[in-house]
Structure 1
Amino acid sequence: SGASPEAGLYTAILAGFTAAVLGGSATQVTGPTGAFVVIVYGIIAKHGLDGLITATLLAGIILLIMGLLKLGSVIRYVPFPITVGFTAGIAVTIFTGQLNDFFGFGIAKMPAEFVEKVMVYAENLNKFSWQNFAIGAAALLIILVWPKINRQIPGSLVAIIVTTVFVQLMGWPVATIGSRFANLSGGFPPLRFPNINLDTLRQLIQPAITIAILGGIESLLSAVVADGMANTRHDSSQELIGQGAANIVSSLFGGLPATGAIARTAANIRSGAISPIAAVVHSVTVLLITVLFLPYAKLIPMAALAAILITVSRNMVEVNEIKKLLKAPKTDRLLLLTTFTLTVVFDLVVAIEVGIVMAAIFFMKQMADAALIKEHSVTDKTALDSVAVYRLNGPFFFAAAESLIQSIDHEVVEKEAIILEMQRVPAIDATAVNVLEKLAKKCREHNTRLFFVHLQPQPAEVLRQAGYMEELGEEFFVTELPEALEACSDLVN
């Protein structure tokens, strides 16, 4: 991304601690994530490190405001197939990202995109390192087997200790944190306030909004994943407040943008976390390692860390839920597969945007299909063949409004009266009013009477405000179907 490794450590410490204390998720772990790599790189290239710090500060303020305005609840409107789809997609992304270290390919610069990443792996198969693979496989085996021996100590911690000691004793030439990040140094950064003026705001407000939106979405989605894994329930607006404060604190110490990290959160839960104390301990541990034990941390094999993340990715995939959704209606299956594919091929933001739009379109189509039912017969024998009765179901909105005209169009010409039974219509919108106005006009042209039965409060108020009732006549709005049929009979006679 162009930022130093130390900046990432500072972010994990400061932002992680702040979000754990002030956030709304019991098990969320906050820190720098791969989702910000492209954004951070672009800001540093154009505005420098100071520009990134300022943009992070502004993003934190925006997130704080969003949380105070209770905008976090919007995540509740994300359908379940989308959540399962992007979670599985993230798992695949995490898994493929670890193969370089697990197999010891030694690829210095990995592309961010999935397809390009697979192509690079294919081109570097001849660089396979059996020592790195052996360490990774050993760590993976320890992680899988250790819980059967002792559940109190996390298997990932045991795997790191065992593989690190083994590598040092054997002197194997495997990649370690120290060899990967040679310039990594300890210590703690000083407090620094960015220089903000009107010109700076103009230049950085757009990147700041991008960081805030991406950070907010990813944090809330991570919290949803955490809820599913830990059987908890997060406070979405409070989480935005915590994330906003975390980014503000991170920026004041030269850190990077922070968000809820799905991989670290999943690892946190799999290690037994049940409260924010685990995330606080995580931040304190990173602080101690950075300040006191960095020389020892540099000895940790990258293959062991890759094994931990491979295990995390495996545990993130909700196999049972995927099996259920694959037997669900076609629209749910399409949402699941589309979100999964877009998360893997592109990124989480694209997947969520497309998934939400698709879900909205599917919902509107379903509502429109269920909005109109023709009553072919009525119990009242006084009804004449020249009267058509229609019962509308559900909200009468723009997606369903046009189908009314298409269904009734021929009846206007053939019948002497049309009755719209609207007891099951809780709400209508401006498009529905416009369609009803067109229907009334056509009825007048063909001398066909139009009756409304049992209007609910909202539709009645909307039609009254639009002047529709006054134009049509109050006598054509009745409370019961027999009353409308009797009026039709009188008119025909």
Structure 2
Amino acid sequence: MNWMQATHFFRPRLLDSMQGYDRHRWVQDVGAGMTVGVVALPLAMAFAIASGLKPEAGLFTAIIAGFLISALGGSRVQIGGPAGAFIVIVYGIVERYGLANLILATAMSGVLLFFMGLFRLGNLIRFIPVSVVIGFTNGIAVLIMLSQIKDFLGLKIASMPADFFGILHALWHHLHSANLAALLLALASLSLLIGWLRMSRRLADTRLQAIGAVPGSIIALVFATLVTWLLSLPVETIGSKFGGIPSALPAFEWPAFGWDSARFLLMPTLTLTLLGAIESLLCARIADGMTGDRHNPNQELMAQGIANFVTPFFGGMPATGTIARTVTNIKSGGTTPISGMVHALTLLAVVLVAAPLAAHIPLAALAAILMFVAWNMGEWREFLLLRQYRMPYRVTLLAVFFLTVVFDLTVAVEVGLMAACLTFIYRISSLSRCESVGQRDHPILAGHQAHIQAWRVYGALFFGAVKLIEDIEDKISTPVVVVDLKNVIYVDSSGADALMNLIDTCRKKEVRLIVCGLQHQPLDIARRSGLLLHLDGQLEADLPSGLQKAIGLLAPQGQ
């Protein structure tokens, strides 16, 4: 493979974005990148803490993965980093298999993501039904809010379980240890977030819109940190829980993991891969709708794969495209991947300069921020609109939601996809039909109905609709049977096999079978399966001339 062929398969949007790049766009990108960096700061730490990791894991992920995804990705404006969707999965892996195997699972998912992009599988993610996406998104949002109750109330729980019922049990039995100061601080932070959001919307078209553009999460974080420090509130902080965050990036480290536990990581790895692909491409599609651009899904998956392979060996966690930060980037004026790279460098500067200040950040404030993010992450109106949809859609969405919350995201997605596939098969098979062609449809049949049975098939002749052909077999009662397939758009191997069985049945009953109207894909599979060869050699010489004329007019295309 030469250089030109390689760039066809691996071509970051950064290369195309540099054409006609000028100072004005540079200023826009730098401003947008710094704004997104400020927004990402509290979220990165909060996502890491909620996942059972140290806060710096989220920061390192936002820096390293965020830079790589922007520099190598297939979208001009997408921002990569740690995401709330991973919290439940990452926490479960850490609890069950340990940090070393989280690194392995993340790196393995990176390899899978890269090969998905390399083999041009990016468009397949779009085939996942909306009901499945909404179901697990809302389920993850509920789990995030549930996992933050501990820090929101200031409960003294040494280690939170990873399963739904375990979390409920731990919260209930430690409810007496609630910290009033932490609860009030969390409520004040959450109220400030909501109030700031409403105020920023009112200031959007005024001279004070610059004030409203300041992220509410930063306002709440600064407020809670100052109140905690000035009043010496007895609440848990990053410093008291984790000892602060380091003021430098970590060096490459190869973890010590064992094969005994690593061999059980197949399903968690597949879950990280599927979730990362869905989140990143969903985010990219939302960005396309806002900018009018069109991303390259395969390039985006390859970039996500590289980022997820590299980042865990530098103390990071799984990364993907992030909707909130991407939207912030677009609204702040970002137009090229430069803004995403600046966002990562902004976070790096914060880590190098202001790391000691992070020790005073209260965990209750971060819990309030995650509660706010989880609420905005869910599509709760879809529950109210369920009555507008058919029963299969409702059952699929609610089943995926319930299974995500109570059992496991992997199980939820598997069941959701299976239910969606079965529903699709049923719907397509119900749209396929077979009609008897009578004298009213073809006057030429007048006087010959005792000798000719004619059938017209509509739709797709696949494994879910072969009963249509089987019904024709059961109803054969004339010397000649005509089957018109000109309205059939698709035939699979099961459909071709059903037609072969019909040919055999007609031969055994000494019935002349004429299959007409084959075209496009049905004609192609008839050739490849040998179906046309079995239809050859059936002569009309022994039939009355009037009957031959009727057959000719009824099936003018022959076989």
Q: 2:497 — aligned with what?
A: 434
State the shift of 1:4 in Å: 5.8
Q: 2:327 — aligned with what?
A: 269
State the shift of 1:292 in Å: 2.5
Q: 2:232 — aligned with what?
A: 171
8 A contact 2:57–2:317 mirrored in 1: no
State the shift of 1:246 in Å: 0.9
Please give the secondary structure, in 1, of the residue aligned with 2:444: coil
Please give the secondary structure, in 2, of the residue aligned with 1:306: helix
CA distance 1:123–1:175, shift in 2 (3 Å): same
Q: Tell me whether 1:358 sits opposite 2:419 in the alignment.
A: yes
Matches of 2:424 and 2:455, distance apart in 1 = 23
Alignment partner for residue 449 of structure 2, among 385, 389, 412? 385
Q: 1:17 — aligned with what?
A: 67
Matches of 1:124 and 1:191, distance apart in 2 = 39
Alignment partner for residue 214 of structure 1, among 268, 271, 278? 271
The aligned runs of 1:197-276 (5 Å cut-off) are: 213-226=270-283, 231-232=289-290, 234-252=295-313, 254-260=314-320, 265-266=323-324, 269=327, 272=331, 275=334
Amino acid at match of 1:379: D
Amino acid at match of 2:441: T
Matches of 2:307 and 2:193, distance apart in 1 = 31
Matches of 1:134 and 1:3, distance apart in 2 = 25
8 A contact 2:221–2:365 mirrored in 1: yes
State the shift of 1:209 in Å: 6.3
Please give the secondary structure, in 2, of the residue aligned with 1:298: helix
The aligned runs of 1:94-173 (5 Å cut-off) are: 94-147=144-197, 148-149=199-200, 150-173=211-234
Q: 1:425 — aligned with what?
A: 488
Please give the secondary structure, in 1, of the residue aligned with 2:113: helix
Matches of 2:228 and 2:547, distance apart in 1 = 89
Q: Tell me whether 1:290 sits opposite 2:344 in the alignment.
A: no
Which consecutive residues of structure 2, in runs of 5 or more, have no partner in the other structure?
1-50, 201-210, 541-545, 555-559
Q: 1:81 — aligned with what?
A: 131
Q: 1:63 — aligned with what?
A: 113
CA distance 1:52–1:366, shift in 2 (3 Å): closer
Q: Deviations over 1:393-436 (max 9, x none)?
A: 2221111113430x224312x33433222112122122112211
Q: 1:190 — aligned with what?
A: 251
State the shift of 1:128 in Å: 2.0
Amino acid at match of 2:493: A
Q: Deviations over 1:207-265 (max 9, x none)?
A: 7866663333222221355357654564321221111221233245x334522166xx4
CA RMSD of aligned residues (A): 3.4
8 A contact 2:280–2:321 mirrored in 1: no
8 A contact 2:116–2:302 mirrored in 1: yes
State the shift of 1:205 in Å: 8.8
CA distance 1:55–1:145, shift in 2 (3 Å): closer
Deviates more, 1:317-326 or 1:235-244: 317-326
Amino acid at match of 1:36: V
Amino acid at match of 2:78: T
Matches of 2:312 and 2:501, distance apart in 1 = 58
Q: 1:180 — aligned with what?
A: 241
Q: 2:533 — aligned with what?
A: 470
Please give the secondary structure, in 2, of the residue aligned with 1:292: helix
Amino acid at match of 1:165: L
Q: Tell me whether 1:395 sits opposite 2:460 in the alignment.
A: yes
Deviates more, 1:317-326 or 1:203-212: 203-212
8 A contact 1:56–1:211 mirrored in 2: no
The aligned runs of 1:400-411 (5 Å cut-off) are: 400-405=465-470, 407-411=471-475
State the shift of 1:55 in Å: 6.1
8 A contact 1:427–1:459 mirrored in 2: yes
State the shift of 1:349 in Å: 2.8
Q: Deviations over 1:51-88 (max 9, x none)?
A: 76566555434432332221222101111111222221
State the shift of 1:327 in Å: 1.2
Please give the secondary structure, in 2, of the residue aligned with 1:441: helix
Matches of 1:464 and 1:229, distance apart in 2 = 43
Which consecutive residues of structure 1, in runs of 5 or more, have no partner in the other structure?
none
8 A contact 1:79–1:359 mirrored in 2: yes
8 A contact 1:372–1:404 mirrored in 2: no
8 A contact 1:84–1:322 mirrored in 2: no
Matches of 2:548 and 2:125, distance apart in 1 = 45
Q: Tell me whether 1:486 sits opposite 2:550 in the alignment.
A: yes
Q: Deviations over 1:435-458 (max 9, x none)?
A: 112112222222333222211132
Q: 1:338 — aligned with what?
A: 399
Alignment identity in percent? 31
Matches of 1:208 and 1:343, distance apart in 2 = 19
CA distance 1:339–1:133, shift in 2 (3 Å): same
Matches of 1:475 and 1:274, distance apart in 2 = 71
CA distance 1:155–1:483, shift in 2 (3 Å): farther
Alignment partner for residue 27 of structure 1, among 71, 75, 78? 78
Matches of 1:170 and 1:113, distance apart in 2 = 36
8 A contact 1:16–1:283 mirrored in 2: yes
- Normalized against structure 2, the TM-score is what? 0.75
Please give the secondary structure, in 2, of the residue aligned with 1:374: strand
CA distance 1:349–1:282, shift in 2 (3 Å): farther
Please give the secondary structure, in 1, of the residue aligned with 2:456: strand
Matches of 2:464 and 2:389, distance apart in 1 = 24
Matches of 2:549 and 2:394, distance apart in 1 = 45
Q: Deviations over 1:276-296 (max 9, x none)?
A: 566545533443343332221
8 A contact 1:216–1:243 mirrored in 2: no
8 A contact 1:223–1:234 mirrored in 2: no
State the shift of 1:266 in Å: 3.2
Matches of 1:119 and 1:425, distance apart in 2 = 57
8 A contact 1:61–1:244 mirrored in 2: yes
Amino acid at match of 1:85: G
Q: Deviations over 1:91-136 (max 9, x none)?
A: 1111111111111113221112223212222222222222111111
Equivalences, count: 473
State the shift of 1:158 in Å: 0.6
Q: Deviations over 1:31-65 (max 9, x none)?
A: 374323444566658xxx4x765665554344323
8 A contact 2:113–2:277 mirrored in 1: no
CA distance 1:374–1:485, shift in 2 (3 Å): farther
